[in-house]
A = this chain, B = another copy of it.
Amino acid sequence: MGSIERIRNVARRVAKWHAAGHQVVVVPSAMSGETNRLLGLAREIAADPDGRELDMLAATGEQASSALLAMALQAEGVKARSYTGWQVPVRTDSSYTKARISSIDDARIRGDLDAGRVVVVTGFQGIDEEGHITTLGRGGSDTSAVAVAAALKADECLIYTDVDGVYTTDPRVVPEARRLSVISFEEMLEMASLGSKVLQIRSVEFAGKYRVPVRVLSSLTDPLMSLDEEMRSGTLITFEEDEKMEAAVVSGIAFSRDEAKITLLGVPDKPGIAFSILGPIAERNIDVDMIVQNQSVAGTTDFSFTVNRNEFSRAVDVLQNVVAPAVGAGEIAKDDKVAKVSIVGIGMRSHVGVASLMFRTLSEEGINIRMISTSEIKTSVLIDDKYMELAVRALHKAFGLDQAPGAAA
């Protein structure tokens, strides 16, 4: 019933935009809990169900919610029609459970829009070249929405979620965290890849590839609030680094506890050693994040990298059984009690001393840095996970993120 009420609220909100003269395409996710329910059934039947059949199963969640939303729109007096991924069609590759969108045919959607209809497109799914149903992986509805917006060259893609925008950091860790009214695409990409759960990273990548302006908004606000008010809420992810951008050097602090560090000690230091170690890891589809190779001492080196904590034991197995014998390494040091904390901001490009303020702040809190990784607009450190919250709070304060933009910097 809570979910039905949510569908009604979405319909009211969409009807409002439609009444204001906008052509609207809606990409709903499944009803709350439905995807978990379906995957739970699959796991009751098989420990490791076939990907093709899993997608066939999971795709029903969005199909059902899309049909229900179309009915709710009709009940609001709005002409509406829902389409599954294959009806559009949304074409993807054949990587079941984590397919990538290759193209979207906009003809059918555009025909309905021009006929005055609101079009509801099932998120999360598509079809591959042979006509099998595929899904895009968790959070895939965001990616679908951005991809549909790109295909239709929409003015903006509004993503309604259970938070009301992108924050300087997670408000559950730092109560002073502020909502950003604008964030650059590049910053958002770093935030998403560094552990901010607001948007699926692939949806941000898609937005970047096709330059789709995305606005993150709360689905929990009054659906009948004025359009002006609605557009002032949330966070706009923009490609224009103009006056709208906040003047802060650092825009946000991201963090992730899903980290584990592995070090191979006493590796013979010779050309190609990094590939010898990481090649077998990559072959097994294990993502490596931070990588550090220490200065060579007496012909050997220590080689460290981090993986997702879920893949820790698989990665250690590969190192022990495949890599270590092959490269003649010594001991393997393991640590899955680590966390990654990152500062992100396009201002870092033009401001010096940003990283050093980060390191000083952590040092003043007595937090030891285990690894460092940098890019043009972010600096990440790996620390003991028990210090994670402390580090985030200290950095949030040190970079003035708890003050409104006008007041800071």
Contacts and interface: CB of A to CB of B under 8 A. Distances in A.
Nearest to A37: B64
Interface residues of A, number: 38
Interface in A56-94: 56-57, 59-61, 63-64, 66-68, 70-72, 74-75, 81-82, 84, 86-87
Interface string A80-120: 01101011000000000000000000000000000000000
A71 B86 contact: no
A75 B45 CA distance: 8
A38 B65 CA distance: 10
Contact of A56 (B41, B42, B84, B133): B84
A53 B82 contact: yes
Contact of A42 (B53, B71, B84, B86): B71
- In the complex this chain forms, how many copies of it are found? 2
A12 interface: no
Given A41-B4, A52-B81, A64 B60 contact: yes
Tell me whether chain A's interface is mostly helix, strand or loop, or mixed: helix
Contact of A57 (B50, B59, B64, B87): B64
B41 A53 contact: no
A59 B68 contact: no
B49 A71 contact: yes
A63 B74 contact: no
A8 interface: yes
15 contacts: A1-B44, A8-B45, A41-B68, A45-B71, A45-B72, A46-B71, A46-B74, A53-B67, A54-B67, A56-B66, A57-B64, A57-B68, A60-B63, A60-B64, A63-B63
Closest 10 CB pairs of A and B: A57-B67, A60-B60, A56-B67, A46-B75, A49-B71, A53-B67, A53-B70, A60-B64, A4-B44, A46-B71
